[in-house]
A and B are shown apart, each in its own frame.
Chain A
Amino acid sequence: MPDLSVTIAGVPFKNPVIAASGTFGFGREYAQLFPLSTLGGIALKGLTLEPREGNPPPRCIETPQGMLNCVGLQNPGVTAFLRDDLPWLRTQGTVLICNIAGSTREDYCRMAELLSEAPVDMLELNISCPNVREGGMAFGTSCESVGAVTRAVRRRCKKPLIVKLSPNVGDIASIAEAAESAGADALSLINTLTGMRIDLRTRRPMLSNNTGGLSGPAVLPVAIRMVWQAAARVKIPVIGIGGISRWQDAVEMLLAGASAVQVGTATFSDPFAMQKIIAGIESYMSENNIQNIFEITGSVKPYESI
């Protein structure tokens, strides 16, 4: 029997497939289709201190092999989440990762403090949302700001801390290193790539926020490259995200250096995408005589650069 379990920052996952934040809500919708306990974990919808309305519609548009979104962190706020959703989620038998966002460094710290007292397993610091005016990606695009917010949150966070990185940067490895030195227990990447589409007839951008975040199979090669570069630079575990829709994509991500993966947009095409990916990884392991999935992490054999 192949062993799919992985441990990230001391937290055991039964398999390395995690639902990506913002694509899975607080789990209730997809729980109607399959038991959430089949998943390695869930990165829950991004939370802020106060409820957020998000951006006006249209908030999404399909693109070749992908989609753009500008939801803008709509969420009921951490208080409502703790009251209305967490007690139910806790009974679902999967690892719970709270994705937290804020407009100021202090917001992130307050969120970390509040959730440190709650029965969640890990926090994911969202410093990479491209769709909010303040905060979000602004914290994630320079080594200094990534280091500063990670360090501040780390001091007040009692849970294992994942820092979710933006791909909208020049040197992802240095950003990864900055997060690691500031105390991150793990990294997750990539968040969405900023993008834009324009309607030819109306000459209006197709999203209300003009620009949005690109996800889906289209971004997979970018994600693989960035995970490879980041994982080579840091010692902490990396969770690979971006365009994974088949088990082959997930295995590729693990080979690039990820210890686990998050799957997002693929769930919209096929609500059972994660189930199929888990099953696919398992048969790949059997066929290739791989006992523990963590054996393959980072086992890509890169060419010597010329």
Chain B
Amino acid sequence: MEFGRFPVLLRRELAKGVIELWITCPNAVNAAPGQFVGILCEGMPLRRPLSICRTDERNHAFCVVFEVRGAGTQWLAARGKGELLDVLGPLGSGFDLSGCESKSAVFVGGGIGAPPLLAAAQRFGSRADVLLGFRTAASVILLRDFAGTGAHVFIATDDGSAGHRGLVTELLGARLDRAPCDIVYACGPKPMLSAAAEIAAAHGVRCQVSLEERMACGVGACLCCASKIRDASGGEHYRHVCKDGPVFEADQVVF
């Protein structure tokens, strides 16, 4: 965990209201796929928790991709090259990528849940299938980036304007019906995660999900970002997305 002010290296708008921000940060290359950072937005008391999308060892930088939702993200979206951002991270624990050099994986991302999967997908190369769901063709992001990892990428949109018309989890069902895989990784809205977990379980495939909850401290001190998690003996307890997650085993999450 590092804390400090680090400069913006690059800012791009990937789709309307979806911003990619590269930040130079010496410790960034150590971030595990699935970890996040807390970024302070001017005038806002609470840091915005943003998943790390990927890192760039050569430039000592990491990037976050976020949607402009309120005053905080609006401020963040207006930052340009060279401006300093107050960053705390990397935080939380990422995806379990053990065996990624030989195992096959399916990634399921919904909307702004797609970016946190990119760094993990990179590790699997062509042994990964990446299924991404968006509202419409204009909101599709990171398509080329996922394809660049060597993965086979499939798109679903609500209105059918790109790829499969319907839910991304329908693509997951079809994919697992067709052939097995070793693990499923999912990030996106709760209903999507819940469906992905169910489909993976029905096919006997391990699944990890990256959860989101409203957060305050980001480090596990305030206990705000609670999520109900099942332990080995079946007991259900509130664990915390910032410290115990954001990645959890899907079959342990009480959706």
Q: Give the Cβ gap from A38 to chain B, nearest Cβ, in Å.
A: 15
Q: Which residue of A lies closest to B214 (CB)?
A: A58
What per-residue 1/0 map shows which CB atoms of B181-220 lie under 8 Å from chain A? 0000000000000000000000000000000011111111
Stretch at the interface among B107-115, B165-173, B221-229: B221-229
- Are B1 and A23 in contact, CB atoms less than 8 angstroms apart? no
B99-126 contacts to A, CB under 8 A, are none
- Are B46 and A268 in contact, CB atoms less than 8 angstroms apart? yes
- Say if the beta carbon of B243 comes within 8 Å of chain A: yes
What per-residue 1/0 map shows which CB atoms of A18-49 lie under 8 Å from chain B? 00001111001110110000000000010000
Max chain A Cβ within 10 angstroms of own Cβ: one of B3, B46, B88, B220: B46
- Are A71 and B243 in contact, CB atoms less than 8 angstroms apart? no
- CA of A58 to CA of B226, assembled, Å: 8
Interface size class of B (residues with CB under 8 A): 20 to 34
Once A60-B214, A69-B216, A269-B46 are accepted as A-B contacts, the answer to whether A23 and B221 lie under 8 Å apart by CB is: yes
Which single member of B72, B218, B227 contacts A57 (CB below 8 Å)? Answer: B227
- Say if the beta carbon of A265 comes within 8 Å of chain B: yes
Once A74-B223, A269-B45, A271-B88 are accepted as A-B contacts, the answer to whether A57 and B213 lie under 8 Å apart by CB is: yes
- Are B214 and A61 in contact, CB atoms less than 8 angstroms apart? yes
Q: Which residue of B lies closest to A216 (CB)?
A: B45
What per-residue 1/0 map shows which CB atoms of A256-293 lie under 8 Å from chain B? 00000000010111111000000000000000000000
- Are A268 and B226 in contact, CB atoms less than 8 angstroms apart? no
- Say if the beta carbon of A65 comes within 8 Å of chain B: yes
Once A57-B213, A272-B3 are accepted as A-B contacts, the answer to whether A62 and B223 lie under 8 Å apart by CB is: no
- Are B238 and A60 in contact, CB atoms less than 8 angstroms apart? no
Q: Which residue of A lies closest to B227 (CB)?
A: A57
Once A59-B226, A60-B222, A216-B45 are accepted as A-B contacts, the answer to whether A268 and B3 lie under 8 Å apart by CB is: no
- CA of A23 to CA of B216, assembled, Å: 9
- CA of A277 to CA of B86, assembled, Å: 18
- Are B226 and A30 in contact, CB atoms less than 8 angstroms apart? no
Q: What residues of chain A lie closer than 8 Å to B220, measured between beta carbons?
A: 25, 28-29
Max chain B Cβ within 10 angstroms of own Cβ: one of A24, A53, A58, A62: A62
Q: Which residue of A lies closest to B221 (CB)?
A: A25
- Say if the beta carbon of B40 comes within 8 Å of chain A: yes
Q: What residues of chain B lie closer than 8 Å to A55, measured between beta carbons?
A: 226
Q: What residues of chain A lie closer than 8 Å to B46, measured between beta carbons?
A: 60, 62, 67, 268-269
- Say if the beta carbon of A298 comes within 8 Å of chain B: no
Q: What residues of chain A lie closer than 8 Å to B243, measured between beta carbons?
A: 29
Q: What residues of chain B lie closer than 8 Å to A60, measured between beta carbons?
A: 46, 214-216, 222, 224-225
Q: What residues of chain A lie closer than 8 Å to B222, measured between beta carbons?
A: 22-23, 25, 60, 69, 71, 268
Q: Give the Cβ gap from A211 to chain B, nearest Cβ, in Å.
A: 15
Which single member of B3, B218, B226 contacts A56 (CB below 8 Å)? Answer: B226
- CA of A71 to CA of B224, assembled, Å: 6
- CA of A271 to CA of B237, assembled, Å: 27
Q: Give the Cβ gap from B225 to chain A, nearest Cβ, in Å.
A: 7
- Say if the beta carbon of A66 comes within 8 Å of chain B: yes
- Are B224 and A59 in contact, CB atoms less than 8 angstroms apart? yes
Q: Give the Cβ gap from A201 to chain B, nearest Cβ, in Å.
A: 12
A170-204 contacts to B, CB under 8 A, are none
- CA of A270 to CA of B219, assembled, Å: 12
- Are B238 and A74 in contact, CB atoms less than 8 angstroms apart? yes
Once A74-B226, A268-B46, A269-B46 are accepted as A-B contacts, the answer to whether A54 and B238 lie under 8 Å apart by CB is: yes
Once A67-B45, A217-B45 are accepted as A-B contacts, the answer to whether A268 and B223 lie under 8 Å apart by CB is: no
- Are A271 and B45 in contact, CB atoms less than 8 angstroms apart? no
Q: Give the Cβ gap from A192 to chain B, nearest Cβ, in Å.
A: 12
Q: Give the Cβ gap from A273 to chain B, nearest Cβ, in Å.
A: 11
Q: What residues of chain B lie closer than 8 Å to A33, measured between beta carbons?
A: 1, 3
- CA of A66 to CA of B216, assembled, Å: 11
- CA of A74 to CA of B88, assembled, Å: 25
Which single member of A56, A62, A267 contacts B217 (CB below 8 Å)? Answer: A267
Q: Give the Cβ gap from A188 to chain B, nearest Cβ, in Å.
A: 18
What per-residue 1/0 map shows which CB atoms of A193-225 lie under 8 Å from chain B? 000000000000000000000001100000000
Q: What residues of chain A lie closer than 8 Å to B224, measured between beta carbons?
A: 57, 59-60, 69, 71
**Can you identify 22 A-B contacts, CB atoms within 8 angstroms?**
A23-B217, A23-B221, A25-B220, A28-B220, A30-B219, A54-B223, A55-B226, A60-B46, A60-B222, A65-B45, A67-B216, A71-B222, A74-B238, A265-B45, A267-B217, A268-B217, A268-B222, A269-B40, A269-B45, A269-B46, A271-B88, A271-B219
Pairs of residues from A and B, 7 with the lowest C-beta to C-beta distance, nearest first: A60-B224, A25-B221, A29-B219, A59-B224, A29-B221, A58-B214, A62-B46
